[in-house]
Structure 1
Amino acid sequence: MLKYTGERIIPELMKPTNGMLLEHLARYHFAIHYLNGRVLDFACGSGFGSQAMAKAAKKRINQIVGIDIDAASIQYANAHYYHPSVSFQQADAVDPSLPEKLGQFDVIVSFETLEHIEDEGQYMSNIFHMLKPGGTLIISTPFGLGRGKPTSEPFHVHQLTEEEFKQLFHNYSQVDFYYQKGVLVEPGRQGLHYPIGIAVCTK
């Protein structure tokens, strides 16, 4: 049985009003507008987001592949979030052979993953090589003190500053930045603090 650890989002074990659950749902709903063709849910966790996207964009997608490094999460996803257009499999985000194993995608979604990754370069390289030319990446991360700096979150390697986050996407032809505060996702307003950044990138 998959256990709620404070990082893994398992809707069945959480109150509908749980703030972290609502934030995650808001990000997936934000991504729905961009979905088409073959989609990768990078670090899919319990799988609820992959299924939600498949249901909402069923006329525009061909397949959603959800991957996660945690075997228990993949087992839970297969048991609880089956959808005919979705497949779940265990995989490591920084495995250099990942692009060869999974192929390319029209859209890659990677929410709240970056802050858990030590080998940031390999992670971003895998994403870039798995994204088709003209494809869309939607990626989010919480802001913090910066690369290599301590964080109060026990499962986070570090949390990038806003500037560090923005510097990750120079290989893309177009990048639009959005910000999240609770369930609100918007381009950003002067003087308002946003704890989470979201980048929408076109290769």
Structure 2
Amino acid sequence: MIALLEWTGERIIPKLMKPTNGMLLEHIARYYFATPYIKGRVLDIACGTGYGAHMVAKDRKRELVELVAVDNDEETLLYANREYNHQKITYQKGDALDPSLPEQLGQFDTILSFETIEHVTDDLLFMDNLYHMLKPGGILVLSSPFGRGRGKQTSEPFHVHQLTPEEFEALFVRFSHVEIYYQRGVTFEKPREGVRYFIGMAVCTK
């Protein structure tokens, strides 16, 4: 299990972290935030170690038909399937930028994408895939840290770039309804004057 700490990327492994770890609490809070939107067929793209998919599957087992949890790392998925197995979850390997992903996976009533878009080289292709995988009337819940902007260097070693708040909001122009929230620790709120926010959360209806 210790080898998991050496994985590339930013893997959250709750069983190896203190319950009070700030990063862990922030990640768990995103799944709690998304729980009311879970229904029907659900996709968790870049699911990581599977703790979040398992959490929402347990909480919304009556509303959930199937949850497809996708990640691009085989070892991560093996761990997820072992530690966070659930009868309604299917862990599956996939590349978020694969143009054939919508054809492979089909469409979903709800899509979750937390702290993923800053890791991909083409965020617009990523959004295109998500849009095509969402059923009409379906809901996308997506978060991202803010930074200097598309194509600009970031101090985070595993981030390709971090969008500005304006670039983040522009990702969702195709959706019929969009609500933007900002995360502060484990809470989510609408913007308040004089408060600097580091993470955005969008709830988008197709």
Structure 1-normalised TM-score?
Answer: 0.98
- Work out the number of aligned pairs and report it: 203
SS, match of residue 37 in structure 2: coil
List structure 1 runs of 4+ shifted beyond 6 angstroms.
none
**In the alignment, structure 1 residue 181 sits paired with structure 2 residue 184:** yes
Residue identity opposite 1:151 in structure 2 = T
SS, match of residue 66 in structure 1: strand
Q: Which residue of 2 aligns with 1:196?
A: 199
Q: Which residue of 1 aligns with 2:142?
A: 139
Q: Which residue of 2 aligns with 1:61?
A: 64
Q: Which residue of 2 aligns with 1:11?
A: 14
* Cα distance in 2 for residues equivalent to 1:122 and 1:148: 15
* Cα distance in 2 for residues equivalent to 1:106 and 1:85: 15
* Cα distance in 2 for residues equivalent to 1:73 and 1:122: 24
* Cα distance in 2 for residues equivalent to 1:157 and 1:71: 22
- Which of 95, 116, 120 aligns to 2:123? It is 120
Shift of 1:18: 0.5
* Cα distance in 2 for residues equivalent to 1:104 and 1:191: 40
Deviations 1:133-165 (A, max 9, x none): 000000000000111111110000000000000
Q: Which residue of 2 aligns with 1:104?
A: 107
Q: Which residue of 2 aligns with 1:28?
A: 31
Shift of 1:188: 2.2
8 Å CA contact retained: 2:109, 2:134: yes
- Show the 5 A alignment for 1:16-95: 16-95=19-98
Bigger shift: 165-174 or 179-188?
Answer: 179-188
Gaps of 5+ in 2: none
* Cα distance in 1 for residues equivalent to 2:5 and 2:51: 14
Structure 2-normalised TM-score?
Answer: 0.96
